[in-house]
């Protein structure tokens, strides 16, 4: 019985290490793009002394990062098992588009993406949409946002190509756990 549990655990660890190893760049960029907005909250929690009044903010940061890491791992697992490159590129669009939308909203309106924006989007018509695009996206800020997007996409492309050329051993934790 003990040996069977050991075999199951070693297979699970091996599979997890393969997913992390093969999709490392995807995981890295997804976590970066989804958590970059949290840095202000994280700074507040680290700079502030640890006490009962700050416990709620620490739990908020922990919850946010836990959800982000879990969703990132699930997306990486989908990419790993699908083995189709177009699925990987499609799933790269999720954190990239969320990052771009959040950056746009924070720079122009001072708020992050929340449900009220979806209500506003649902109530707009074609004329309002075209005026909005002319007022915000076809300006210097729109050019800045385009350049940031090109830099991020270029960085992802270069990192993926360089990482494919590397041959890395499995993470040390897996070797220790399997011995």
Domain ranges, ordered by start, for the chain: 2-178
The pLDDT value given to residue 77: 93
- Tell me what the pLDDT averaged over the chain comes to: 79
Q: How far apart are CA 79 and CA 22, in angstroms?
A: 10
DSSP-assigned states of every residue in 2-47: HHHHHHHHHHHHHHHHHHHHHTHHHHHHHHHHHHGGGHHHHHHHHH
The pLDDT value given to residue 167: 61
pTM of the model: 0.71
Using alpha carbons, select from 21, 9, 24, 8 the residue that is nearest to residue 170.
21
The CA-atom distances, in angstroms, between 175 and each of 13, 132, 144, 158 are 10, 55, 45, 30
Question: Which string of b and e fits 102-125 if b means at least 16 CB within 10 Å?
Answer: bbbeeeeeeeeeeeeeeeeeeeee
The pLDDT value given to residue 173: 55
Q: How far apart are CA 123 and CA 134, in angstroms?
A: 18
* 49 pLDDT above the threshold of 50: no
Phi, psi of 79 (to 5 degrees): -60, -45
Q: What is the pLDDT of residues 75-132, one digit of tens each?
A: 999 999 998 889 998 999 988 888 888 888 888 877 777 777 777 777 778 787 778 7
Q: 134 vs 19, which has greater pLDDT?
A: 19
Structure tokens, 20: 């992390």
């Amino acid at each position: 019985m003990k040996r069977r549990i050991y075999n199951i655990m070693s297979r699970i660890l091996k599979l997890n290490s393969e997913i992390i190893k093969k999709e490392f760049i995807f995981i890295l960029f997804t976590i970066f793009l989804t958590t970059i907005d949290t840095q202000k909250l994280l700074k507040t929690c680290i700079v502030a002394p640890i006490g009962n009044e700050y416990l709620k903010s620490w739990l908020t940061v922990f919850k946010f990062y836990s959800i982000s890491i879990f969703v990132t791992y699930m997306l990486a697992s989908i990419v790993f098992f699908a083995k189709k490159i177009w699925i990987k590129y499609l799933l790269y669009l999720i954190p990239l588009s969320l990052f771009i939308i959040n950056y746009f909203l924070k720079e122009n309106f001072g708020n992050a993406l929340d449900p009220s924006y979806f209500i506003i989007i649902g109530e707009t018509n074609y004329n309002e949409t075209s005026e909005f695009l002319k007022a915000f996206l076809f300006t210097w800020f729109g050019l800045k946002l385009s350049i940031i997007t090109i830099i991020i996409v270029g960085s992802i492309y270069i990192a993926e190509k360089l990482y494919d050329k590397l041959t890395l051993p499995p993470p040390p934790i897996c070797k220790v756990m399997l011995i």
